[in-house]
């Protein structure tokens, strides 16, 4: 049985007050909170075996190397990658996307096409625009409909023999829509295009199986799934990672260096130049252990309950409009009150100790589509409660009274 009160005790931050009120943290899509189990791993690393990895002969370095590589294996197992060397440690989703985009600079040529979706985060738009500029490739966009779902018939029309890459997020951070990536991957492969899936928003809620998906690249950030900031992972199929050139040059990523020529290290080190976020990688592994101990099925079921409860309660407020109404969505609610700027609603909620996100959520094209400056976004995690949702609903009603 899932006992949320028990779970909440794992998160020290959840017992603090904000502006004299108990904190209600509904900004989980921006970053999640960290359980004591992960904090302990971070403290243990710096207290007991902090050292640089892979090079030292001394005991601390070997310990740190072992635990860091164990974390890579945990991530491999979690995503069901075939090989541990297909897991590249990055500083986060943005880094992973840039690494792949940079690699494709040497593969794409003029006339090639890249398809992205209208639901993308800026970090999944800008690197492709830069890549197109460098290579002369063209960027095409899968549009979305009023429910915030991608239009698959248009996607099919966009696909052709020139399509070399398709980039799509698994779950939209602004609207919570779960995209049909299985379908997108299958169709893209049928014309020989590779697919990169941005999993930043899906990994906190579901457990992707990269082999089952047959996805070419998959990226995620630890800080959205109970881990620390500044670390993430790129999964790439071995044959793709071998094909892509290194992203950065430096220590760790070389086999041999002379002034005439450098040969690169084998995977995964080829893509891991310099000293990585060692403690972060280890803590990422601990965060995955923590979430798996609760279980992703349990998490999904409970969060769905929260989503349905909040959707019903918020919808009953007159003049409140929810953006993103797909049947396939995670626990994210983007909304506005008629005639009221989202920032003003967010400010009043903050005074009540309720943390939501307001603005364009790094997804300006989506806001342009709805012709709005932004939304108020409440995003729930498995440690949130219906009592907290009640506080949000009351707060929104209060904001409406004060601002209209
Ligand atoms: C948060 C997020 C990103 C960026 O992640 P970083 O950790 O900031 O690199 C990219 N895509 C989506 C869908 C996100 O939610």
pLDDT tens digits in sequence order for the chain, 404 residues long: 789 999 999 999 999 999 999 999 999 999 999 999 999 999 999 999 999 998 778 999 999 999 999 999 999 999 999 999 999 999 999 999 999 999 999 999 999 999 999 988 877 788 899 999 999 999 999 999 999 999 999 999 999 999 999 999 999 988 999 999 999 999 999 999 999 999 999 999 999 999 999 999 999 999 999 999 999 999 999 999 999 999 888 777 878 888 888 888 899 999 998 999 999 999 999 999 999 999 999 999 999 999 999 999 999 999 999 999 999 999 999 999 999 999 999 999 999 999 999 998 888 888 999 999 999 999 999 999 999 999 999 999 999 999 98
Same domain, residue pair 155 and 249: yes
Residue 1's pLDDT is what? 75
Q: Which atom of ligand 1 is nearest to the CA of 232?
A: 7
Spatial separation of the C-alpha atoms in residues 62 and 132, rounded to whole Å: 43
Same domain, residue pair 170 and 306: no
Mutate to test the pocket of ligand 1, among 200, 204, 330 (most ligand atoms within 8 A of CB): 200
Spacing, Cα 121 to ligand 1 middle (Å): 7
CB-based contacts of 93, cutoff 8 Å, min separation 6 = 123, 198, 199, 200, 219, 220, 221, 232
Same domain, residue pair 304 and 339: yes
33 CB within 6 A, ligand 1 = no
Spatial separation of the C-alpha atoms in residues 96 and 240, rounded to whole Å: 14
Residue 224's pLDDT is what? 98
Q: Which atom of ligand 1 is nearest to the CA of 229?
A: 7
Same domain, residue pair 84 and 192: yes
Spacing, Cα 169 to ligand 1 middle (Å): 10
162 closest CA partner among 185, 129, 131, 138? 138
123 CB within 6 A, ligand 1 = yes
Crossing angle (nearest 10°) for helices 36-44 and 278-294: 150
86 CB within 6 A, ligand 1 = no
For every residue of 351-388, DSSP letters joined together read HTTEE-EEE-TT-HHHHHHHT-S-EEEEE--TT--HHH
* End residue of a domain, out of 293, 320, 339: 293
Spacing, Cα 232 to ligand 1 middle (Å): 10
- The residue whose CA is least distant from atom 5 of ligand 1 is 93
Same domain, residue pair 311 and 396: yes
Domain containing 345 — which CATH number?
3.90.1150.10
Spacing, Cα 30 to ligand 1 middle (Å): 8
140 CB within 6 A, ligand 1 = no
386 closest CA partner among 26, 20, 70? 26
* End residue of a domain, out of 268, 293, 318: 293
Q: Is 132 a catalytic residue?
A: no
For every residue of 6-64, DSSP letters joined together read HHHTT-GGGG-EETTEE-EE-BTTT-----HHHHHHHHHIIIII----SS--SHHHHHH
227 closest CA partner among 191, 146, 281? 281
Q: Which atom of ligand 1 is nearest to the CA of 91?
A: 9
- The residue whose CA is least distant from atom 12 of ligand 1 is 200
Mutate to test the pocket of ligand 1, among 32, 121, 218, 331 (most ligand atoms within 8 A of CB): 121
Query: Chain centroid to CA 339: how far?
Result: 32
Spacing, Cα 400 to ligand 1 middle (Å): 31
Residue 264's pLDDT is what? 85
Options 132, 203, 226, 362, the catalytic residue: 362
124 CB within 6 A, ligand 1 = yes
Spatial separation of the C-alpha atoms in residues 52 and 168, rounded to whole Å: 36
Residue 260's pLDDT is what? 82
Residue 17's pLDDT is what? 97
Angle at alpha carbon of residue 133, lines to 132 and 135, rounded to 5°: 65
Same domain, residue pair 18 and 95: no
Spatial separation of the C-alpha atoms in residues 273 and 95, rounded to whole Å: 13
The 8-class DSSP code of residue 84 comes to G
Same domain, residue pair 277 and 302: no
CB-based contacts of 129, cutoff 8 Å, min separation 6 = 139
Rounded to the nearest 5 percent, the helix, strand and coil shares of the chain are 45, 20, 35
Same domain, residue pair 244 and 354: no
Same domain, residue pair 49 and 174: yes
Question: How many independent structural domains does the chain possess?
Answer: 2
- The residue whose CA is least distant from atom 14 of ligand 1 is 200
Same domain, residue pair 176 and 315: no
Range of the domain at 276: 39-293
**Cβ neighbours of 252 (radius 10 Å):** 19
Distances in Å between the Cα of 220 and the Cα atoms of 73, 113, 184, 202, 208 are 16, 24, 19, 8, 11
**Cβ neighbours of 396 (radius 10 Å):** 24
198 CB within 6 A, ligand 1 = yes
Domain containing 276 — which CATH number?
3.40.640.10
Spatial separation of the C-alpha atoms in residues 133 and 125, rounded to whole Å: 13
Same domain, residue pair 241 and 374: no
28 CB within 6 A, ligand 1 = no
93 CB within 6 A, ligand 1 = yes
Spatial separation of the C-alpha atoms in residues 226 and 155, rounded to whole Å: 34
Same domain, residue pair 336 and 220: no
Residue 365's pLDDT is what? 87
Contact 113, 138 (CB under 8 A): yes
The 8-class DSSP code of residue 259 comes to S
92 CB within 6 A, ligand 1 = yes
* End residue of a domain, out of 273, 293, 313: 293
């Amino acid at each position: 049985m899932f006992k949320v009160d028990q779970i909440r005790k794992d998160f020290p931050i959840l017992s603090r007050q904000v502006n004299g009120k108990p904190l209600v943290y509904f900004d989980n899509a921006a970053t999640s909170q960290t359980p004591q189990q992960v904090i302990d791993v971070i403290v243990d690393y710096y207290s007991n075996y902090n050292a640089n990895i892979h090079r030292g002969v001394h005991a601390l370095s070997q310990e740190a190397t072992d635990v860091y590589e164990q974390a890579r294996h945990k991530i491999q197992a979690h995503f069901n990658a075939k090989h541990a060397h297909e897991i590249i440690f990055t500083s986060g989703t943005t880094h992973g996307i840039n690494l792949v985009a940079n690699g494709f600079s040497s593969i794409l040529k003029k006339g090639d096409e890249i398809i992205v979706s209208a639901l993308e985060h800026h970090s999944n738009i800008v690197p492709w625009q830069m890549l197109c500029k460098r290579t002369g490739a063209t960027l095409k966009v899968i549009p979305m409909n009023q429910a915030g779902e991608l239009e698959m018939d248009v996607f099919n029309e966009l696909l052709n023999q020139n399509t070399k890459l398709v980039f799509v997020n698994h779950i939209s951070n602004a609207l919570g829509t779960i995209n049909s990536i299985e379908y997108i991957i299958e169709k893209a492969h049928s014309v020989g295009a590779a697919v990169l899936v941005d999993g930043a928003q899906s990994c906190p809620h579901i457990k992707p199986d990269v082999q089952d998906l047959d996805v070419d690249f998959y990226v995620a950030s630890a800080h959205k799934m109970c881990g620390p900031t500044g670390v993430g992972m790129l999964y790439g199929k071995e044959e793709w990672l071998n094909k892509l050139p290194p992203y950065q040059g430096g220590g760790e990523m070389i086999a041999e260096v002379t002034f005439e020529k450098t040969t690169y290290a084998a995977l995964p080190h080829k893509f891991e130049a310099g000293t990585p976020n060692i403690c972060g990688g280890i803590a990422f592994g601990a965060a995955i252990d923590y979430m798996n101990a609760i279980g992703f099925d349990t998490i999904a079921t409970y969060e769905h309950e929260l989503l349905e409860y909040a959707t019903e309660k918020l919808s009953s407020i007159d003049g409140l409009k929810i953006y993103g109404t797909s049947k396939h969505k995670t626990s994210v609610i983007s909304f506005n009150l008629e005639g009221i700027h989202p920032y003003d609603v967010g400010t009043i909620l903050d005074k009540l100790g309720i943390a939501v996100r307001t603005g364009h959520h790094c997804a300006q094209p989506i806001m342009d589509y709805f012709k709005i400056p932004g939304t108020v976004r409440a995003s729930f995690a498995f440690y949130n409660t219906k009592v907290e949702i009640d506080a949000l609903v009351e707060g929104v009603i209060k904001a409406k009274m004060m601002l209209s």
